Amino acid sequence: MSRFIESIKVEDQKIFLAELHQKRMMETFAHFGSACELDIQSIFVNLKHNENGLFKLRIEYDLDNHFTTKLIPYAISQHDDFELMMADEIDYSFKYADRRPIEKLKKESDAEEIIIVKENHITDTSYSNLLFLKDKKWFTPSTYLLNGVMRQHLLTKKKIKEAEITLDNIKEFSHFQLINALNDFDETSIYSIESIINLPKEESDLDFG
């Protein structure tokens, strides 16, 4: 049976974006014809977490409502470089616990982190959605692999907009940043587009083999 995960931000004993995580969990159950009996807020309260600092609450569950939890101290990662990796067949529309296709791509890369390209379109990194900067405005690819809760939150708050971002127009953007449930919008933590080691220089460079 498939297993799924929710990775949730907990900081200074407070849980963040629980409603969006709960919504995604319920939609996952509904898609596969099951009823969700799990309540994220109750799970968190029952952990009796009383430490300050930043933590990741990882809930792994199956469609029979069995679940396990881990509460792990969390530090936001920084990367020296990125590589565009082609993966036309990849599917991560649900937050599966089995991440082997993504992990395989990352092992094949020569960079610290990957940017997954599907059918010429920019999607996500191995663990986050992406935002790209153009003319002082931030855009997120409309061709995400997983519609992350932070992505949804920022779109609702109108801090970002969706855009079609492809190998053909990626150089129109100057910088990018990584967002997920534990990595909020942060204009002080951005990367130059030139940190992508195989950024297309000419149209003839768009074939990555």
Residue 18 included in any domain: yes
For residues 117 and 144, state if they share a domain.
yes
Residue 209 included in any domain: no
For residues 55 and 97, state if they share a domain.
no
Burial of 196 (0-12, 13-18, 19+ CB in 10 A): buried
Q: Is the pLDDT of residue 207 over 50?
A: no
Domain finish residue from 13, 40, 73: 73
CA distances from 7 to 127, 128, 179, 206 (A): 11, 11, 13, 34
Give the single-character DSSP code of 106: H
Residue 194 CA neighbour count, 13 Å, CB half:
0
For residues 60 and 133, state if they share a domain.
no
Domain finish residue from 42, 73, 104: 73
Residue 38 included in any domain: yes
The residue segments making up the domain with residue 67 are 3-73
CATH number at 15 reads: 3.30.470.10
For residues 178 and 117, state if they share a domain.
yes
Average pLDDT of the segment spanning 7-14: 98
Q: What is the pTM of this model?
A: 0.93
Average pLDDT of the segment spanning 140-149: 98
13-43, pLDDT tens digit by residue? 999 999 999 999 999 999 999 999 999 999 9
